Chain A
Amino acid sequence: MRTVLTGCWYQLLVLRRSPADLMALFVAPVNTAVFLAIVRHADRPDLVGHAVLAPGLMALWAIALITCGELIDAERFGGTLEALVAVPARMLPLLTGRVVVVTTASLFAFAESWLVAVLFGLRVPIPHPAIFVISMLGTALAMACWAGVMASVFVLARSARIFQNALGFPFFVLGGVLVPVAMLPDWVRPLTNVVFLSWSSDLLRDALKTAPVQDFAGRLTALLGLAAVGAGLGAYLLSAVLKRVRSLGTLTYA
């Protein structure tokens, strides 16, 4: 547990020194402004909620992809990975602490979007505040778990790095971030169902509508289930990374 806190402390120091790691937070308000302008132009006030949520979800995903995806690789590049392997503390809690901090920081994007809406003179009421908060926490948790997966994937499958920057929009679509997945063709449903973002974005949007939220418990369970899958996969991949470091000795550039 203490190692988790060490990870948090360390990541806070790093973020303070390099705010560029949270580049998406600078982009989110701009996206919100663009989306709100479109919504206003199309005269669809019912879509204001979509326009405010989408940039937040996009920032959440982008930061996990870029910043968390690089956490282990940066250690390798800086020559600190070996020293981290050689200390008594375990890597998993350390990485957890770091990912939690990055994910928490990226939640700030939602606040930014909300502020931009206010500047547009729009109010975004939350008819189901409890559901909204719980869904938001579930989303952050799931994102943190899957961010851990990304951290290891980009070290293990170096060729995946090529796609790293391209993995934004496909998931924005599969995660129903821009357009609800219900509007996608039926055959992509199996795919969208295993992307936790799709459950998140639907839940969050529903929480902003006045209509009662259907089957909240079931959908939340799906979200948390996918979070658990991510946590398990992340832990497994991390141990694979550490195994590879120790057996091949090739993760560091000598």
Chain B
Amino acid sequence: MIDEYAVEITALRRVFATGKGLRKRGPGHVALDGVDLAVRKGEVHGLLGPNGAGKTTLCKILSTVLLPTSGTAKVLGFDVVGQTSRVRESMGIVFGGERGLYGRLTARQNLKFWGALHGLHGKALRTRVDTLLERVGLTGRADDRVEGFSRGMKQRVHLARGLVGDPAVLLLDEPTTGMDPVAAKDFRSLVGELRAENRTVLITTHDMVEAEQVCDRVSLIDAGRILATEPPAALSEWITRFERVDVPAAPAEVVARLRELPGVGSVSTEDGRVRFETTQEGVAAQLVRALVDEGVTSVTTSKPSLEEVYLHVFGHNGMAVRK
């Protein structure tokens, strides 16, 4: 069985001490609360959850940067606590955000540095760096300092850095934060390439559409627990089921009538704006038609947020950002 999984996590808990300085007392803050997760080799696995769910904490533990409070985690069969060097050799990490790169160095120098720390040198290092710069579309800016890069470009450098050690397992923590739509599309094709190269990818996100598009399986995480592991088809079903229909204004009696349609979940009004939330596929289209027939013309539909899906599917308030 061990051979089958690239990442195996059992009963993983992480508690952060609360309070400041030496007076760290109290029960602590539970960031991960008994996580079980198995990622198959060659799989692109999504970890989908709202802010504060524990995604980054999980990535840090897998990358040996943070110790678990209890439970075990293995990468390619190597324990993240006891066999750190084996884990570090086989893993690449991309932590999202602007930080984590040397702004004063160029993109090429950044990659050379990290490549060297993965044991590459000489020609092998140069070739690897050139290939990666090409791959993330930065060849033209390779010798510019990273501090002058846009967020999206920095994110590409981050991605290249994660790949510089030719890792079998890649952790991507919110990799598309700050990317423009074009870059995000490129990113999706990059993940496709990684899958074709038979790498295992664990990618965290709070964007359902992204998770649906790139992942083979998606685990939903909230408040430090895995709620479910689903194929992306389940997500796309939720996305079409729980659509939103917004209108800037509508006659009260029309709203009252539409509220009774089967498949219309909740209706909320704010400053005259009305939002219908559907719970069945196809109902959104029906609503739009009905509204247009009533003469309400400026109708917009949108995809549900992750929080809404959590609310509908798991029946609790996923909206709260956990502290």
Contacts and interface: CB of A to CB of B under 8 A. Distances in A.
Contacts of B60: 82, 249
Contact of B93 (A2, A9, A86): A86
B117 A84 contact: yes
Interface in A1-45: 2-3, 6, 9-10, 13-14, 17-18
Interface string B46-76: 0000000000110010011111000000000
A141 B99 CA distance: 34
Interface in A64-113: 78-80, 82-89, 94
Interface in B68-92: 85, 88-89, 91
A17 B104 contact: yes
The interface size bin for chain B is: 20 to 34
A211 interface: no
Given A85-B64, A86-B65, A6 B104 contact: no
B236 to A, nearest CB: 32
B95 A13 contact: no
A210 interface: no
Interface stretch (A170-178, A189-197, A199-207, A240-248): A240-248
B116 A249 contact: no
Contacts of B91: 86
Contacts, number: 82
Given A10-B113, A13-B109, A83 B67 contact: no
Interface centre among A3, A13, A86 (most CB of B within 10 A): A86
Given A85-B64, A87-B165, A80 B101 contact: yes
B119 interface: yes
B117 A13 contact: no
A80 B57 CA distance: 16
A245 B64 CA distance: 11
B315 interface: no
A14 B103 CA distance: 10
A163 to B, nearest CB: 18
Given A83-B93, A86-B88, A2 B116 contact: yes
B102 A80 contact: yes
A88 B116 CA distance: 10
Contacts of B185: none
B168 to A, nearest CB: 13
The interface size bin for chain A is: 20 to 34
Contacts of B66: 246, 249
Contacts of B93: 83, 86
Nearest to A80: B100
B60 to A, nearest CB: 7
A11 to B, nearest CB: 11
B119 A89 contact: yes
B102 A6 contact: no
A82 B109 CA distance: 19
Given A2-B121, A85-B65, A86-B88, A249 B16 contact: yes
A87 B17 contact: no
Given A13-B109, A14-B104, A88-B165, A82 B118 contact: no
Nearest to B121: A2
Interface string B155-188: 0000001000100000000000000000000000
A13 B118 contact: no
Nearest to B112: A9
B263 interface: no
Interface in B224-244: none
Contacts of A10: 113
A85 B120 CA distance: 17
A2 B117 CA distance: 9
A6 B95 contact: no
Contacts of B104: 13-14, 17-18
Contact of B113 (A6, A82, A245): A6
B200 to A, nearest CB: 16
Interface centre among A2, A14, A246 (most CB of B within 10 A): A246
A89 B117 CA distance: 5
A82 B119 CA distance: 18
Contact of A79 (B63, B89, B97, B118): B97
Interface of A: 2-3, 6, 9-10, 13-14, 17-18, 78-80, 82-89, 94, 245-249, 254
Given A87-B88, A87-B117, A249-B66, 7 more contacts: A9-B116, A14-B104, A14-B105, A78-B99, A87-B114, A87-B118, A88-B88
Those 3 A-B pairs whose CB atoms lie nearest each other, nearest first: A79-B99, A89-B117, A87-B117
17 contacts: A2-B119, A3-B117, A9-B116, A14-B102, A14-B104, A79-B99, A80-B99, A82-B63, A82-B100, A85-B65, A86-B88, A87-B117, A88-B119, A246-B66, A249-B16, A249-B66, A254-B56
